[in-house]
Amino acid sequence: MKPTLHETPARRFGKPMAGWRRRLYTVIFEADTVAGKRFDIALLLAIVASVLVAILDSVPSIHARVGDTFLLLELVFTLCFTVEYILRLVCVRRPLRYMFSLFGLIDLVAILPTYLAFFLPGVHYLIDIRLLRLLRVFRVLKIPMYFDEAQMLLTALAHARRKILVFIGTVGILVVILGTIMYVIEGPTHGFTSIPVSMYWAVVTLTTTGYGDLTPQTALGQMLTSFTILLGYGIIALPTGIVGAELAVTMLRGKEPTTRTCEHCLTEGHDADADFCKHCGDRLASYETDS
């Protein structure tokens, strides 16, 4: 079976069948439980707080006043995140698989900058990468459609990838053609010193950004610029339409999963009121939620 957002982490990393590891897994990975949601909300607040500390610490005037306090807070945050990362590895049956998963790598990279800062000063400001961990908010809030919308978007992008590649290729050809024509029209005298420079002008103009650092001086060049701007407005909506059409088709097949996990086959994504596993038919364990 092809893995989806609904099948992780239980089937990918292995949910312990009993004991303290099972209880720890429920708290850390299953945000439908009261304890699990409280744990994840506290984790997200700690992530935001640690990033704010790094941001404020980069302001010289603030650093001069409370730099030592920020350093202590960062060490505390890093120790907490390190313990949390170790607990995630301990409570799954396949820790290596979790370690090399997307969230596992993000969790690891999030704590490395502080430790590396002992050897490479200044690296600790990279802890802003911890903001990537806020992707867990989709599991924390436990609004079922968030899972569904994320899966729908991924599916729509996958289905539209060839159309998007064709669109990008077409735009690339237009950039080369328009840049070459403008180079011939204006030339080095007016700042278009080469075809690559003219292609840069074409990209800026076609996307309707218009920095103004390169402007045509001749009437013919200005006419080409006007045409390019209008062309940009005409094609800029195409990728949105492509993805939107695929997304509309995908939404017709939407479901509303949760993180409820079957203890027998470890399949996630069951409805909140389901009594039996939709994969193996085994009875689902009931537990309290705060929904």
Structure confidence by residue, pLDDT tens digits, 9-33: 555 666 665 678 888 888 887 767 7
Average confidence score pLDDT of the chain: 77
Q: Kindly state the helix (H) or strand (E) to which residue 271 belongs, with its residue range.
A: none
The phi-psi region of residue 281 (left if phi > 0; otherwise alpha if psi is between -120 and 50; otherwise beta) is: left
What is the spatial distance between Cα 285 and Cα 291, in angstroms, rounded to a whole number? 17
* Residue 267: pLDDT over 50: yes
pLDDT digits (tens, 9 = 90+) for 157-213: 777 788 888 888 888 999 999 999 999 999 999 999 999 999 999 999 998 888 888
CB count within 10 Å of CB 167 equals 15
Task: Kindly state the average pLDDT of the residues 44-53.
Answer: 83
What is the spatial distance between Cα 228 and Cα 174, in angstroms, rounded to a whole number? 9
Say what the pLDDT of residue 127 is: 61
Scan for tokens 């200005």, then name that residue.
Answer: 222
What is the spatial distance between Cα 256 and Cα 160, in angstroms, rounded to a whole number? 23
Task: Answer yes or no: pTM beyond 0.75.
Answer: no
State the Cα torsion 85-88-94-97 to the nearest 10°.
-50
Scan for tokens 């990033």, then name that residue.
Answer: 51
Residue pair 144/257 in contact (Cβ under 8 Å)? The answer is: yes
**Residue 197 exposed, middle or buried by CB count within 10 Å (0-12, 13-18, 19+):** middle
What is the spatial distance between Cα 264 and Cα 282, in angstroms, rounded to a whole number? 7
What is the spatial distance between Cα 78 and Cα 42, in angstroms, rounded to a whole number? 15
Scan for tokens 């699990």, then name that residue.
Answer: 36
Q: What are phi and psi of 100, to 5 degrees?
A: -100, 10
Scan for tokens 């995908």, then name that residue.
Answer: 250
Q: Which residues contact 82 (CB under 8 A, 6 or more apart)?
A: 111
Residue pair 33/287 in contact (Cβ under 8 Å)? The answer is: yes
Residue pair 92/9 in contact (Cβ under 8 Å)? The answer is: yes
